[in-house]
A and B are shown apart, each in its own frame.
Chain A
Amino acid sequence: MPDFKRPVFPSRTIDIRKSGAKQGVLATAIIQHCIDQLSTQGGGTVLIPDGDWFTGRISLKSNINLHLSGDARLHFSGDVKDYQPAVFTRSEGIEVISLGACIYAEGQDNIAITGKGTIYGPKQGGTVRSQVMDSIVIEDFVSYKTPVKNRVYDGKNGGYIFLPMLISPINCTRVFIEGVSLENTAFWNIVPIYCDHVIIRGVTVNSVGIPRGDGMDISSSKNVLIEYCTLSCGDDCFTLKAGRGEDGLRVNIPTDHVVIRNCLAIKGHGGVTCGSETAAMIKNVYVHNCVFEKTNVGIRFKTRRPRGGGGDSLYYENIRMYQTGKAFQWDMLGSTVYVGDLAARLPAREIGPLTPAFKT
């Protein structure tokens, strides 16, 4: 693991009010302008002050710290048009061009989201939630043979989209997320994809009752420290992933060197879950000094016959569980809903590139 240090940002600060943002009025362009302007100057802090602020997708740029004051509430739009144009992202382990994330970044270095404010996911009742492609499993909808540039699901003319994550940097280095609370996500909450050197600390997530509302999904990223976080989730809590099936093998970036410590999972499907997207391997993980309360499973390992990869060198120490459904679960076959006949244990299949394995 690298020697993690608190990131440093230039002292200059822009308060979004001074750039014209008004409470209750969509301020996407103003917030984005503050980020872009400050990044061009070498970086600094974009301040979301106390109050209720409304925005569409915003994209962090290098050396920007997006800071939410203690009573700041940042509300994300429920309309697809506020997330256009579509951006490069990965949904459930498959690369697509779609809405990305409410707070997005691509190819940036030294970015942060800090403060004690609350971030609210896309408003209920909008087109974001109604245009989602959820009728079939994603690998049956997006072929791995289709070039990524042609996998465009931007929601124009009422077309399908893939749900935006709440916070998801992709191909970024030195990512720091601290203190914020997350509510009302549409999908997974914090999802570093292809990132290196990530610190997530002191974050609170509430997504209870939200299907697929994972707390955080470390997705094909390396050198990740998660500490002092409290999650109550509608799906898995602390989750490690590495791409799905053929597309995950094509990308072939593992999740590697992850420490999760001093964390609490109050409610959710799994306390710490590896998978089910395992294609490029999840390895060198150390989880310690954590408490799982009413999770359906405490320590969970999921994969499926066509998912590929698996997990190796996974260590758990000093874990306390309370009112857990299953303390430990390995579920490597899944259900027919997702993988058809491959969920049947027998007959044994020939071992191929998609055969996953969990060991050590």
Chain B
Amino acid sequence: MDSADWFIKLTAIPESPLTNVTMDNMQIHTHNFFKASDVDKFIIKNAAISTKDSLISLLDTRHLLFENVQFKVPGDSLTVDIKGPKSADILFKNCEPDHPKGWKTSAYPVQASK
């Protein structure tokens, strides 16, 4: 993707969330990043994502995985805003930076150490 205002804008239905989306092997250049509501299982992997606004906004989003993603964002800092009681299991795996600003680990909610 050479240029876009938004990478992803996603409005699904609370009683019928968007399910089982996989995006693989992408180069993204965009202004705004990712805004989603009512999602269950969404994977973005093997991607280089360059955005001018680093905000990821999630509402009742669960099972979201970023894997092998290089984020080129201002200040090398990702911001994730999570709302909704169903939001859970959001994971950054082998990403750069390896987790969003303010997170102590790469997972939300913080996983108990084994």
Interfacial residues, chain A to chain B (CB-CB below 8 A): 298, 305, 310, 320-333, 345-346, 348-351, 355-360
Interface size class of B (residues with CB under 8 A): 20 to 34
Neighbouring A residues of B110 by C-beta, 8 Å: none
Task: Assess the B2–A322 pair: CB atoms within 8 A.
Answer: yes
Given contacts A321-B4, A328-B9, whether A358 and B37 have CB atoms under 8 Å apart is no
Q: Are B14 and A327 in contact (CB under 8 A)?
A: no
Contact with A along B1-42 (1 / 0, CB 8 A): 111111111111111101111000000101000000110000
Q: Could you tell me if B16 and A326 are in contact, using CB atoms closer than 8 angstroms?
A: no
The secondary-structure label for the interface of chain B is: strand
The number of A-B residue pairs with CB atoms under 8 Å apart is: 87
CA distance A321 to B1 in the complex (A): 5
Q: State in angstroms the CA–CA spacing of A330 and B16 once bound together.
A: 13
A332 engages B4 (CB within 8 Å)? no
By a CB distance below 8 angstroms, the chain A residues around B38 are 345
Q: Are A327 and B4 in contact (CB under 8 A)?
A: yes
Partner of A330, one of B2, B18, B30: B18
Assembled-state Cα–Cα distance A142/B3 (Å): 42
Tell me the complex Cα distance, A28–B20, Å: 51
Distance of A21 Cα from B51 Cα, bound (Å): 59
* Nearest-Cβ distance from residue A9 to partner chain B, whole angstroms: 42
6 sample A-B contacts, Cβ–Cβ < 8 Å, listed by A number = A298-B4, A305-B13, A327-B6, A330-B9, A332-B12, A358-B12
The 8 Å CB contact of B11, one of A325, A332, A351, is A332
Given contacts A345-B37, A357-B19, contact A331 B11 (CB under 8 A): yes
Nearest-neighbor residue (CB-CB) of B34 within chain A:
A328
On whether the beta carbons of A350 and B2 are closer than 8 Å, the reply is: no
Interface string of B68-99 (1 = CB under 8 A from A): 00000000000000000000000000000000
Of chain A, the residue at the smallest CB distance from B10 is A330
Bound Cα distance from A349 to B12, whole angstroms: 13
Q: Which A residues are in CB contact (< 8 Å) with B12?
A: 330, 332, 358
A305 — which chain B residues lie within 8 A by C-beta? Answer: 13
- CB of B18 within 8 A of CB of A359, answer yes
A327→B30 contact, CB < 8 A = yes
Whether A324 contacts B3 in the complex (CB less than 8 A), given A329-B10, A345-B37, A359-B20, comes out as: yes
Shortest Cβ distance from B2 into A: residue: A322
Contact, CB under 8 Å: A355 / B15 = yes
Smallest distance from the beta carbon of A216 to chain B beta carbons, Å? 23
Cα A150 to Cα B3 in complex, Å, equals: 50
B9:A322 contact, CB within 8 angstroms = no
How near does chain B come to A239, taking the closest CB pair, in angstroms?
A: 19
